């Protein structure tokens, strides 16, 4: 489509859960609900349109052994784009992906800098591995490097204990989160287990990734503080495989991981029922494939979250949470068009009919 061409999207435009329109127009890469005058070059796309999907836990630039080259990172981003993911919160990456910002054909990325972990308490080559005395300084560094987020590793296996354990003492995370907030950044943390959650939430954290250790006694605390969770259920599905690999050396850890997996759906449903914000994230990158956003939405529906709210968790609500527009007048034209109504069956998300990024139809 030429720079002067107008894109006409018609059918059903899902601007919001309660705002459905018949058509929109795209001119100069921006959305308008007023038909432009005097334009002859019009391309029409028909179907059910949603704002570009959000993957709020996705690692562009990360592979199984750490950072990857730009060509590999590009393939990751393109795979996400083909799945309809046009906005990514990159929840920790050792790669510098700022070059993506100069590409109109790649999803927009909100970065959280590099993971910050305790020494020898995370996956090798993924994170800054430091001790508590240095946590504030590293959080400040990554807050300045990121796009308004910082990523901590809140717990990991303690090899001496033989099980999951918190990474940071309470006073260290309190000071670190306060510093991030002073610099205008929000903080999220990788957490599998139960034991790290109360200190992190009471210290002022904004979000918890995975949150498999969320228990009935902690749910009211999360709800009262407005702490969001990104369950990454397509990743939690791998827990039994991980547990099998630790049966001989770390049997307590393996049993713990199996228990967390077994109650994963009950955990997320209880959080949702209590009013805790739940958002879609796949944990793509590392060992997990990209392009899994539709599968994660389907998992939220399996949990018992109503389809409309599961859609919101990857579209309207997720974009508002991250401070990015959806299909508002004048917003960048990032949208996905489907053959049928995704509100009736979220499995439709797995087969986008058209992807439009920055006003351009992706061919």
Q: Which token pair is 111?
A: 């970065």
Residues 179-215 pLDDT 10s: 999 999 999 999 999 999 999 999 999 999 999 999 9
Residues 88-110 pLDDT 10s: 999 999 999 999 999 999 999 99
Q: So what's the pLDDT on residue 74?
A: 98
Q: So what's the pLDDT on residue 363?
A: 86
Could you tell me if 336 and 355 are in contact, meaning their C-beta atoms sit under 8 angstroms apart? yes
- CATH of span 6-51+326-362: 2.30.40.10
Q: Model pTM?
A: 0.96
- The position carrying tokens 């007023």 is 34
Q: How many other CB atoms sit within 10 Å of the CB of residue 235?
A: 21
Q: So what's the pLDDT on residue 5?
A: 81
Phi, psi of 188 (to 5 degrees): -125, 165
Q: Which token pair is 76?
A: 């990751």
Phi, psi of 2 (to 5 degrees): -75, 165
> How are beta strands 19-27 and 6-16 bridged, if at all?
antiparallel
Domain boundaries, the chain: 6-51+326-362, 53-321
Listed as ranges, residues in the chain with pLDDT below 50 are 1-3
Could you tell me if 333 and 86 are in contact, meaning their C-beta atoms sit under 8 angstroms apart? no
Give the CA distances from residue 57 to residues 110, 121, 267, 352, 359, in Å, rounded to whole numbers and listed in that order. Answer: 10, 20, 19, 21, 25
Q: So what's the pLDDT on residue 4?
A: 58
* CATH number 3.20.20.140 is the correct assignment for the domain at 53-321: yes
SS in 3 state form for the chain?
Answer: CCCCCEEEEEEEEEEECCEEEEEEEEECCEEECCCCCCCCCEEEEEEEEEECEEECCECCCEECCEECCHHHHHHHHHHHHHCCEEEEEECCCCCCCHHHHHCCCCCEEEECCCCEEECCCCCCCCCEEECHHHHHHHHHHHHHHCCCEEEEECEEEECCCCEEEECCCHHHHHHHHHHHHHCCCEEEEEECCCCCHHHHHHCCCCEEEECCCCCCCCHHHHHHHCCEEECCHHHHCCHHHHHHHHCCCCHHHHHHHHHHHHCHHHHHHHHHHCCCCECCCCCEECCECCCCHHHHHHHHHHHCCCHHHHHHCCCHHHHHHCCCCCCCCCCECCEEEECCCCCCCHHHHHCCCEEEECCEEEC
Q: So what's the pLDDT on residue 1?
A: 42
Tell me the C-alpha distance between 238 and 261, whole Å.
9
Tell me the C-alpha distance between 305 and 311, whole Å.
10
Give the CA distances from residue 141 to residues 122, 150, 162, 283, in Å, rounded to whole numbers and listed in that order. Answer: 19, 9, 32, 23
Tell me the C-alpha distance between 237 and 212, whole Å.
11
Residues 52-90 pLDDT 10s: 999 999 999 999 999 999 999 999 999 999 999 999 999
46 - beta bridge partners? Answer: 10
Tell me the C-alpha distance between 349 and 113, whole Å.
29
Q: Which token pair is 341?
A: 């109504």
The interaxial angle of helices 251-262 and 239-246, nearest 10 deg, is: 160
First-residue to last-residue Cα distance in the chain: 10
Do 6-51+326-362 and 53-321 show the same overall fold?
A: no
Tell me the C-alpha distance between 115 and 252, whole Å.
26
């Amino acid at each position: 489509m030429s720079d002067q061409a107008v894109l006409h999207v018609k059918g059903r435009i899902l601007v919001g859960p309660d705002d459905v329109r018949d058509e929109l127009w795209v001119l100069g890469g921006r959305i308008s609900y007023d038909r432009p005058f005097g334009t002859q070059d019009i391309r029409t796309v028909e179907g059910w349109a949603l704002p570009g999907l959000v993957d709020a836990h996705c690692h562009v630039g990360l592979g199984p052994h750490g950072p990857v080259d730009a060509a590999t990172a590009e393939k990751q981003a393109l795979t996400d784009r083909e799945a309809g993911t046009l906005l990514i919160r990159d929840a920790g990456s050792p790669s510098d992906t700022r070059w993506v910002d100069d590409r109109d054909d790649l999803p927009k990325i909100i970065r959280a800098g590099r993971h910050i972990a305790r020494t020898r308490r995370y996956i090798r080559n993924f994170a800054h591995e430091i001790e508590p005395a240095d946590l504030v300084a590293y959080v400040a560094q990554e807050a300045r490097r990121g796009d308004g987020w910082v990523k901590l590793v809140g717990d990991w296996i303690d090899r001496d204990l033989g099980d999951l354990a918190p990474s940071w003492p309470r006073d260290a995370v309190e000071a670190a989160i306060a510093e991030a907030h002073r610099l205008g950044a929000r903080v999220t943390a990788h957490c599998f287990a139960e034991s790290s959650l109360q200190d992190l939430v009471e210290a002022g954290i904004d979000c918890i990734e995975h949150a498999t250790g969320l228990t009935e006694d902690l749910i009211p605390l999360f709800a009262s503080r407005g702490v969001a969770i990104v369950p990454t259920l397509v990743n939690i599905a791998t827990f039994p495989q991980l547990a099998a690999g630790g049966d001989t050396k770390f049997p307590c850890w393996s049993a713990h991981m199996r228990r967390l997996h077994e109650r994963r759906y009950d955990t997320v449903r209880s959080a949702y029922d209590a009013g805790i914000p739940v958002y879609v994230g796949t944990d793509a990158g590392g060992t997990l494939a990209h392009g899994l956003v539709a599968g994660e939405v389907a998992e939220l529906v399996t949990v018992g979250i109503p389809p409309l709210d599961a859609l919101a968790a990857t579209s309207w609500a997720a974009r508002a949470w991250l401070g990015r527009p959806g299909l508002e007048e004048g917003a960048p034209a990032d949208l996905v068009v489907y053959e049928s109504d995704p509100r009736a069956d979220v499995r439709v998300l797995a087969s986008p009919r058209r992807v439009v990024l920055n006003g351009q139809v992706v061919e």
